[in-house]
Every structure is written in structure tokens, then in C-alpha cells.
Amino acid sequence: MTEPPTPIATGTPTRSVSAERFAGFRLKDVATPRGLVRVRVGGSGPPLLLLHGYPQTHLMWHSVAPLLAESFTAADLPGYGDSFRPPPSEDHASHGKRALASDLADAMAQLGHNRFAVAGHDRGGRVAYRMALDRPERVGALAVFDVVPTGEVWARADAVLALAYWHWAFLAQPAPLPERLIAGAPNAFFDLHVRALGLGGAPGRYPADLMADYRRVLDDPSTVEAICEDYRAGAGIDRDHDDADRDERRIACPLLVLWSARGALPRLYGDVLEVWRPWAREVIGRGLEASHFLVEDRPEDVAHELVTFLAPPRTRSLGNNHSGDRRCPPTP
């Protein structure tokens, strides 16, 4: 019988992890109508909001943020990290991407940013594109990493998706089933599910203290509840919002899409940009040789793509494109 991976030591969370990896950057709690949002602020120049995915925190940007010229704000999504915990609601709207996008737009306003770019990975990407759809006057540029719209995921669901994205249905089950099962075997859930998605797989990219910090996320019952509520919203109200917007509203700002070239998206959807094209007026992007956690697997490439994408149009046109780029022209 195969031995299970050695569990990561758990215990009292250490704040030295973030302090070391974001040296010189400011940590703040920003008041919003629903609660405090924890952010890490640094850099100079045009503002950029960075949003993490499941099951992480703003720490996932530790290698990319120092490479950015922009004035970045890396936030813990409400429900995750040190941000407030939205109270669950019967329709799960309190954890829906529309509500989270509103919270984070409010936080940016409190920081003095009325218009900004936003980049999100995984669940953060879903919050990011919802923000761009709902508040086009606030979002000047959008980048999403290793996602397609939630409505597309459910509309195209098949047997392949049921196996590849099994956690979508599992985490969306009524409370408290998934919460109790995760609490019963958090090490197994982390090692056999989260690590299997690629977290910690790229050599030299995931120090032990950082992985321990990610593992501790599953020791907080309020975070696990928020994760499950996040996915319940994704199976219901988020899908409803996407379906209502389909063919009615489009992302007005330029959109950059990056994805794992060896991951689930090409296997499920083939041409990832073609999935996004009906949702946005201008789409560019490419696949990276990385796992689902491409921001940490390939931080230099991700930072380069972001800096190039966010550069003024003239500067952008003078830069070198990767040979793997696939660009969709603007559509009306």
C-alpha cells in the first residue's frame, strides 16, 4: 500500500511568511460596508488589484508583485485569509461574485482608486470578470488566469468535467456535508486534492513555510465554510448572473487570459480564447507551461504578460510578443 505524503506541520499561523515575502510593502485593513478587507499595498504607478484563488490568500502573489511596475493591491477575498467572513445566506448571494466584487471595488475606492486594473486567478478571476461586467466605469483592464466564465463551465458540463472538476460539485453540496468531511481529513484533502492540482509541484517555487501557510487555511472552520459557500454560489447565483449577461452584456475593457497549457482548460474547451470571445470586446492571451497554479509556477512570465498588457498602447506595440500568443481582435 502506498504511503501517504508526509503531512505539513500545522499549528499557530505565523505572520513572518507574509512579512518576509512582501518586505517593504504595507499591510492594511480597509473598511467596506460589509466588513474589513485585508490588503497588501506596494509599488507605484497605475493601480492594479490582485485577487487570489482557491484555497489560497493574497500570499500567492509573493513572487509576481515585486516584479510589477504598477501600484498593486493584493487582497484577501472576503471569506479567505484575514478578510471579513460574510454571513451565509439562503441563496448564497452573500458569497456570490457580484457581492465580493462590490466589496473589493469599495476597498479600492477607500484606497483612493476609482478606476484600476484587476487581475485574478481561479476564484479571484471570477470575481474580477464579474467586477468588469457590473462596474465597467471602475475597471480599465482585466486579466484572468486559468478560468472560463462560470456560466460556460456549467453549460458545457460533461463526464470529463465531472471527473476533472469534481470538487465543484462536492464543495457545492448543502452544508454541513463538505465542511465536516474536510474537517475529518484536512491533510488528505490538501495532499490528494489541492496538491494534485499542482500546488507545490514546481521545484524551487514553493518554500515549506509558504506551503504550511496554505495548508493552515483548512484548519479554520470559518474559512472552510466560506470556501464551500463560494462554490455553492458558483453553482447557483453566479451561474444565474452569467446566464442573464450572456449575449446581453460584454466586458468593455481589454482582457488578458492566461491558462495552464497542460491543464484542464485546453482538455475541456480546446481553444480557450474562443470561449472568452463572446464575453469581451477585446481578448488576448496564451497558455503557459505550468500547472493550474501558474502564477507561482511561472511568476516571471506572468509578470511580463501583465506589465506588457497594462503598458500604454504605444509602449505595448513596441514590445516583443511571445510566439505562442493568440490574439483576438476587438469586436463590436
User: What is the set of active-site residues?
Assistant: 122, 292
Return the closest-CA partner of residue 250 out of 217, 215, 276: 276
Distances (CA, A) of 186 to 57, 77, 182, 216, 221: 17, 21, 5, 9, 11
Report whether 59 contacts 21 (CB < 8 A).
yes
Report whether 84 contacts 223 (CB < 8 A).
no
70-102 burial: b if 16+ Cβ within 10 Å, else e: bbbbbbbbbbbbbbbbbebeeebbbbbbbbbbb
Instruction: Identify the H or E element spanning 39.
Output: strand 35-42
Q: Which three three-digit cell numbers place residue 205? A: 517555487
Residues 286, 32: Cα–Cα separation, whole Å: 35
CB count in 10 Å sphere of residue 46: 18
Return the closest-CA partner of residue 232 out of 95, 81, 57, 83: 95
Residues 117, 46: Cα–Cα separation, whole Å: 8
Instruction: Identify the H or E element spanning 243.
Output: helix 237-245
Report whether 75 contacts 39 (CB < 8 A).
yes
Residues 159, 168: Cα–Cα separation, whole Å: 13
To the nearest 10 degrees (0 to 180), the angle between helices 177-184 and 221-235 is 140
